[in-house]
Amino acid sequence: MLYLVGFLLVTVCLLVLGVNVWVLIDHLLTTDVPPSIPHPLKFRMLHYCFLLTTTWGSILEKMNICSMPQFSRFVQDRLTSKENLGVFVKDLYFGTIPVRLFCPKAPSPKPRRGILFFHGGGAIIGSLDTHHNLCTFLARETDSVLVSVGYRKLPYYHHPALYHDCINASIHFLKSLKAYGIDPSRVVICGESIGGAAAVVVIQTVLNRTDIPKIRAQVLIYPILQTFYFQSPSHLVNKNIPFLTKDFMMTCICKYLAIDLSWKDAMLAGACISPSAWKKYEKWLSPDNIPKRFRTSYQPPESPAPFNEAAYLETKHAMNTDISPLIADDKIIAQLPETFLVSLHWDIIRDDSLLYKKRLEDQGVPVTWHHVEDGFHGCLVLFDKKHFSFPCCLNIMNAVVSYIKDL
């Protein structure tokens, strides 16, 4: 009996060691560390831990123990601490949607600004807890009442659950501003990554409603704004840069949109875009719309991939504007509020922000653009991690705070 226990223990240890070494080798062989990223060793170490978490999550998923998203969120939440310095915090429900209210403790002589915040994470990671300290900082430093929305995620909820939750929570909040002491003329919607997409979709959805106040501004922090064109410069040049590599990005997109991963290569090659669709969207998505300095090392594909009708039929919902709001009609874009847009140089979806910036400006929407040369996707999750944070984290938050305070 003891021999059997010992044998099993050794087997488990060898399995764990083997997986960890394999992940390390894969990281060293496939991951690019940009030259302008400070603390490259820390950057590699954090990405290795991230890969370990998602890899073990995938193993547990194959063993039917728990899903990769559940395991990843479990680990992430265990590494999260919460501070409420200078802010009153309360967990609430808007209907069935969990939200967290952040209100500065200092008295205010007049109604405060309101902020709706949607966190990122690709519907796989991220939660009210992981972004708690960030929201505390944002509410305190801008003297605003902030509501963070805990929308539904994978593995049990796919599109459009996230957007339904964000839209419904936003409408509830906008109808209740008086109860929270908020000035209805100063409401800002803020989103990070997929939360940035949610922010844009919410605003586009409620544009013409007369029963709720108009949104004063949208603050979009490295938003993902389209999920079907993957041949822009940043998608090709930054494909192996953490934390949103090409493989993890496609895993997030396919899982959330309930697209089988077998269509991943066709999506990346552009074979899912019909000639008629590309003719319509090329004027907005063409790399020619991106400033030249972001195309210096870009080698465009030699020729378009042949159209694959089967792949198109499986993935065409990725072109819906509630998933890819970048391709909304001009008449919608022209009505959007002024925008603060954060882009990161080493981000695979950097060009979504650059293309959206041009679309907004072409339609006369005021845009304040903040580009971070040493930024990488997902960096805001490290904002409150002290020794594991990076200069770009505070850079972004200070820029966002400064913009919101000036509204």
Across the strands, what pairs with 97?
94
The residue from 119, 159, 235, 377 that is catalytic is: 377
Q: What are 178's two structure tokens?
A: 């008086």
The residue from 67, 72, 148, 193 that is catalytic is: 193
Residue 144 known to be catalytic: no
Dihedral pair phi/psi, residue 379, rounded to 5°: -60, -25
Asked if 311 and 189 touch (Cβ cutoff 8 Å), the reply is no
Bond from prior residue into 160 cis (ω within 30 degrees of 0): yes
Place of tokens 């990122």: 120
Dihedral pair phi/psi, residue 366, rounded to 5°: -65, 130
Report the C-alpha gap between 175 and 157 in whole angstroms: 26
Residue 67 known to be catalytic: no
Residue 183 known to be catalytic: no
Angle 40-62/2-30 helices, nearest 10 degrees? Answer: 130
199-205-211-213 Cα dihedral, nearest 10 degrees: 30
Helix (H) or strand (E) holding 340: strand 338-344
First-to-last C-alpha distance (Å) of the chain:
71
Amino acid occupying residue 165: D
Long-range contacts of 155-162 (CB under 8 A, 24+ apart): 155/67, 155/68, 155/69, 155/70, 155/255, 157/123, 158/255, 158/256, 158/257, 158/258, 159/256, 159/257, 159/258, 159/317, 159/322, 159/323, 160/322, 162/123, 162/194, 162/198, 162/256
The residue from 322, 347, 351, 352 that is catalytic is: 347
Beta carbons within 10 angstroms of residue 104's beta carbon:
19
Report the C-alpha gap between 218 and 145 in whole angstroms: 16
Amino acid occupying residue 264: K
Helix (H) or strand (E) holding 207: none
Catalytic residues: 193, 347, 377
